Amino acid sequence: MTMQNDAYNFAYLDEQTKRMIRRAILKGLAIPGYQVPFASREMPMPYGWGTGGVQVSAAVLTPEDTFKVIDQGADDTTNAVSIRTFFERTAGVATTTTTRNATVIQTRHRIPEEPLTEGQILVYQVPIPEPLRFLEPRESETRKMHSLEEYGLMHVKLYEDIARHGHIATSYAYPVKVEGRYVMDPSPIPKFDNPKLGNMAAIQLFGAGREQRIYALPPYTQVVSLDFEDHPFVASKADHPCGMCGAEDSYLDEVIIDDAGGRMFVCSDTDYCEGRQTAGHKGKDAA
Amino acid sequence: MTPLLSVQGITKRYGHHIGCADVSFDLYPGEVMGIVGESGSGKSTLLNCLAGHMTPDAGQVVFDTRADGPRDTVTMSEPARRMLGRTDWAFVHQNARDGLRMGVSAGGNVGERLMAVGARNYGDIRAQATDWLGRVEIDATRVDDRPTTFSGGMQQRLQIARNLVTGPRLVFMDEPTGGLDVSVQARLLDLLRGLVRDMGLSAIIVTHDLAVVRLLADRLMVMKSGHVVEAGLTDQVLDDPQHAYSQLLVSSVLQV
């Protein structure tokens, strides 16, 4: 049963708010990687639970869309389930867990393993949109650094990593440069996913609710992960096959299975893993 | 010879108060200029106007750029001025904490300016940072330590290394020895004198410490209430002050 006809406008937000958010999205698409300020609304969930992503999703959803939500790659975690239910109730859109069938995918901390196609929209939940935040606390100064393209400081962070750990230890929210211009925080996706950001067929939208920023990557945008000549970027993952489906090419979660040091590695993308198991692939831990 | 920096009629007001008024001078390559005066005399205002941290209300600051020759830095575009700020200019703050990134290692602090002008090779950056730590007498084993673990004198020397690593031609110093004890001051002055002479730097040093200018500066300007009351060769001004305020300043120094 849906409530949108009596209790809520389609997809919860009122049309003027959606209009405002769409303008920010269009501006973001026109200037890839640039953080567009927008008047973020109070949402019926706490900050940090994806208020930015939900607002962006609400603004782009149409009644014909099929919606998928993933949290750390999984369709069945609290955050994913609650946001999916939210839009089932307030927009009445069809929902799915199959990456291929979705037209709008809201994600927290992952990009699906299956390559996205033209016509799909990937919406990221972003906690901190400013890649320079922890190096330069003054927002007035970071904005100036973006506008004047002064990005030396970003490499200071990577330098510190190498000086302290011997290699670039930043493993998520790894900074990227978009179309040779803006340095962007790709949200806390693992750096394993960074190569998928560039040249993607789908539209990528990033919403930060608490910080009131939206940014975007149009399809087929050049995205380069920052690095040093003698310490190049490496997209890393746990060096195991998936215990359930045996995949060697997917990003893995480490799961502790007993109190005797037992553990297994499974795909963080549940849809990808189930798809492979249905197709007959079996990992060593599969029942 | 073209002056490296030619300052004409710099005026800065804070409402009805005068920060500094109608200051003009030329600074030639390799020359060190001292600016002395009591607190509130407009020394720091003047320095900030010259270094582009503040916009003066009137006047010109013409800097002889490497690429385009003499250009007025007050009217040049902000990106160009900030570019100067991390290449040809250096600014040493009185408090090292203002000029350092306290959460970043010593090596990262020195390397920042290199990375800001496009250095992307970790090995090279680190080698240069280590080399500069040596030049300012900081042990190379401290390269990965944060400045928070350094003493006041070491922090100040680190700040100097961080500023000089890109080979600037003009250094602005705001009370570089303020807040340090006298023996540390002496070592720092010795170091600064060596660096200035070796690298052929030009410098503008703001201080209220006459000993600092006696040691470092070729020329001296004395400021009072925003105006330059006396200017000349350092020894000449200090040994034979003409203006009443200069005489007061010189005679106020305690003799031990």
Query: Considering only alpha carbons, which residue of chain B is nearest residue A146?
Result: B79
pLDDT in the model for residue A285:
85
Residue at token pair 């919406």: A123
pLDDT in the model for residue B199:
87
pLDDT at B96 over 70: yes
> Is B121 in CB contact (< 8 Å) with chain A?
yes
Three-state DSSP state, B230: strand
Q: What angle is formed at CA A35 by the lines to CA A30 and CA A38, rounded to 5 degrees?
A: 95
d(CA A87, CA A104): 12
| Cβ atoms of residues B145 and B154 within 8 Å | no
CB contact under 8 A, B101 and A135: yes
pLDDT in the model for residue A281:
93
pLDDT in the model for residue B208:
84
Q: What percent of chain A has pLDDT over 70?
A: 97
pLDDT in the model for residue A5:
56
Give the model confidence (pLDDT) of A52-103 as tens digits: 999 999 999 999 999 999 999 999 999 999 999 999 999 999 999 999 999 9
Question: Choosing among A134, A177, A228, which should be mutated to test the B contact, i.e. which has the most B CBs within 10 A?
Answer: A228
Q: What is the DSSP string of B168-185?
A: -SEEEEESTTTTS-HHHH
Nearest to A229 among B82, B107, B120 (CB): B120
Give the model confidence (pLDDT) of B60-83 as tens digits: 999 999 888 899 999 999 999 998
Which residues in chain A have their CB less than 8 angstroms from residue B105's CB? 160, 163-164
Work out the average pLDDT over B220-248: 93
Token pair belonging to B233 = 């060769």
Which residues in chain A have their CB less than 8 angstroms from residue B78's CB? 148
Q: Which letter does DSSP use for residue A92 in this model? A: -
Residue at token pair 């002496």: B186
Closest CA to B195 of B211, B179, B216: B216
CB contact under 8 A, A153 and B121: no
CB contact under 8 A, A152 and B82: no
Residue at token pair 């020329």: B219
Nearest to B122 among A135, A150, A162 (CB): A162
- Helix axis angle for B152-164 and B182-199, nearest 10°, is 10
pLDDT in the model for residue A68:
97
> Is B16 in CB contact (< 8 Å) with chain A?
no
pLDDT at B170 over 70: yes
pLDDT in the model for residue B93:
92
Q: What is the dihedral of CA A37, A42, A45, A47, to 10 degrees?
A: 40
Token pair belonging to B156 = 């100040």
Nearest to A152 among B115, B126, B144 (CB): B115
Give me chain A's average pLDDT, please. Answer: 93
Nearest to B121 among A160, A164, A230 (CB): A230
pLDDT at A268 over 70: yes
Alpha-carbon dihedral sign for residues B178, B181, B182, B183: negative
pLDDT in the model for residue A8:
73
Which residues are paired to B136 by β-bridges? none
Query: In this predicted complex, what is the ipTM?
Result: 0.85
Least confident span in A198-202, B178-182, B252-256: B252-256
Residue at token pair 């730590």: B133
CB contact under 8 A, A228 and B122: yes
SS3 content of chain A, % helix, strand, coil (to 5): 30, 20, 50
CB contact under 8 A, B117 and A152: yes
Three-state DSSP state, B205: strand
CB contact under 8 A, B108 and A148: no
| Cβ atoms of residues B156 and B162 within 8 Å | no
Residue at token pair 């807040």: B179
| Cβ atoms of residues B152 and B96 within 8 Å | yes
Work out the average pLDDT over B227-234: 94
Spatial neighbors of B179 by CB under 8 A, at least 6 apart, are: B94, B95, B152
**B59 φ/ψ sector (left φ>0, alpha ψ -120 to 50, else beta):** left
d(CA A12, CA A129): 24
Token pair belonging to A247 = 């995949």
> Which residues of A are known to be catalytic?
33, 242, 245, 267, 273
pTM (two decimals): 0.87
Q: What angle is formed at CA B188 by the lines to CA B26 and CA A160, rounded to 5 degrees?
A: 100
- Please report the number of interchain residue pairs, chain A to chain B, with beta-carbon separation below 8 angstroms: 54
Query: Considering only alpha carbons, which residue of chain A is nearest residue B114?
Result: A152
pLDDT at A126 over 70: yes
Closest CA to B33 of B223, B163, B249: B223
In this predicted model, which residue has the larger pLDDT, B38 or A139? A139
Q: What percent of chain B has pLDDT over 70?
A: 100
What Å distances lie between residue A227 and A175, A234, A271, B117, CA to CA? 9, 9, 32, 15
Question: Which residues numbered 65-104 in B keep a CB inside 8 Å of some CB on A?
Answer: 78-79, 82, 86, 101, 104
pLDDT in the model for residue A1:
46
d(CA B96, CA A32): 38
Which residues are paired to A120 by β-bridges? none
Q: What is the dihedral of CA A190, A196, A201, A204, to 10 degrees?
A: 30
pLDDT in the model for residue B57:
94
pLDDT at A173 over 60: yes
In this predicted model, which residue has the larger pLDDT, A238 or A205? A205
